[in-house]
Amino acid sequence: MGPMSARIKILFSFVICALLEAPSAAPALMLEHLKLPTGFSASVFASDIPNARQMAKGDRGVLFVGSRSAGNVYAVLDADEDHHADRVVVIARNLYMPSGVAYRNGTLYVAEVNRIVAFDDIERNLEAPPEPRVVYDRLPDDSHHGWKFIDFGSDDKLYFAVGAPCNVCSVDDPYGTIQRLDISDGTTEVVARGVRNTVGFAWHPVTDELWFTDNGRDMMGDDMPPGEINRISEIGQHFGFPFVHGGTLRDPEFGQGASLDNFIKPAYALAAHVAPLGPLFYVGHQFPKEYQGNLFIAEHGSWNRSRKSGYRVMRAQLDPEGNIARYEPFITGWLLGEAHWGRPVAMVEWWDGSILVSDDYAGVIYRISYKP
């Protein structure tokens, strides 16, 4: 594909995502409608961040934010530490859906659809960012489920996913996988297969197991198949796509003859079409003790359901065996009847123990804090 064709494809992808994800103008923020447990509050940490997606913390207090339809990567600064950003700097433009960002040892890693790039010593050079250094460029360029969430594991490898380039279809590697990249030599390893479209994962703070969300296929009705919260206990496990959904539901086209026992069942099956995205295990000390180790899930919200679902942040409490014992709303209010004014995407635990939540529809970052 020539340079002009590549630019046209990228532009087309941006237009489609803009139509699906972004309002025609920035929606009015209605924080008064957000409902949280007693003692918790929501405020705007940063605004004017179009299509804000994954976030990553730098070592010097900078928050980095990726985007999808906007094609930008942002640096958010709160120099006076008053919990409201002083500046938002665009450090990269016109990238190919740079949704995923991760930070390690002074370098910001950014996942485009077809490659992963790095900005070295970025926090010292926000005003004049360096040219991106290509870390890995052997990724498919399919825009369908091509945007990526990335993060470093305790093994210092960079984890990423390659979604299925379809609603439902037969896939081979690298599609439908979670992989990890050794950034020192460029080698990759498949960590999990049968993953339709994960846009978020996190490691359990005690067991170091990788937990991830997965978005179920469309066009099977309002109430099936379920969204999924999964956990990987062994490298190479298969989570069912496209043969089985939610651990129990055979696909009408690809699931005939499939044995349910051949695939890993979800750690928790969610409602259909809620679009679970970024998960976060809370290990801070600002929230009450009972929130320690809880798993928070951003349910981005449905787009193809007769009555909308999701548009909220959920809280999962785990039992002593590490299973989800309770799953309940933590933040609601972005959905008012059948109209929404925001869509939560991803979360990061901030330095003071609060949680920051990105919203790609409203183009803001919320700060969730607790005060007895």
The whole-angstrom separation of Cα 155 and Cα 345 is 26
| pLDDT higher than threshold 50 for residue 18 | no
Query: How far are the Cα atoms of 30, 40, 150, 163 from residue 15, in angstroms, in the given order?
Result: 27, 37, 24, 20
In which band, very low, low, confident or very high, does the pLDDT at 104 lie, cut at 50, 70 and 90? very high
Of 213, 140, 234, 137, the C-alpha closest to 181 is: 137
| pLDDT higher than threshold 90 for residue 20 | no
The whole-angstrom separation of Cα 87 and Cα 46 is 8
Q: Where are the domains of the chain?
A: 3-370
Return mean pLDDT, the chain. Answer: 94
Which residue type is seen at 233?
S
In which band, very low, low, confident or very high, does the pLDDT at 21 lie, cut at 50, 70 and 90? low
- Res 27: pLDDT: 79
Q: CA 13, 19, 21, 26 torsion: positive or negative?
A: positive
Tell me the Ramachandran region of residue 129: left when phi exceeds 0, alpha when psi lies from -120 to 50, beta otherwise. Answer: beta
- Res 1: pLDDT: 42
| pLDDT higher than threshold 50 for residue 276 | yes
| pLDDT higher than threshold 90 for residue 178 | yes
- Res 17: pLDDT: 44
Length of the chain measured in residues: 372
| pLDDT higher than threshold 80 for residue 13 | no
User: Span 341-363, mean pLDDT?
Assistant: 98
User: Span 171-197, mean pLDDT?
Assistant: 98
| pLDDT higher than threshold 50 for residue 3 | no
Q: Which CATH superfamily is domain 3-370 in?
A: TolB, C-terminal domain (2.120.10.30)
- Res 22: pLDDT: 59
- Res 12: pLDDT: 41
Torsion angle (degrees, nearest 10) of CA 4, 6, 11, 15: 140
The whole-angstrom separation of Cα 248 and Cα 264 is 10
Strands (DSSP E) found in 265-350: 268-272, 276-281, 295-299, 312-318, 324-331, 335-336, 339-340, 344-349
User: Span 242-248, mean pLDDT?
Assistant: 97
Query: How far are the Cα atoms of 126, 202, 274 from residue 207, in angstroms, in the given order?
Result: 36, 12, 27
The residue with tokens 């409902």 is 35
| Exposure string over 274-289, b if 16+ CB within 10 A, otherwise e | bbbbbbbbbeeebbee
Residues of the chain above pLDDT 70, percent: 93
Give pLDDT tens digits for 38-88. Answer: 999 999 999 999 999 999 999 999 999 999 999 999 999 999 999 999 999
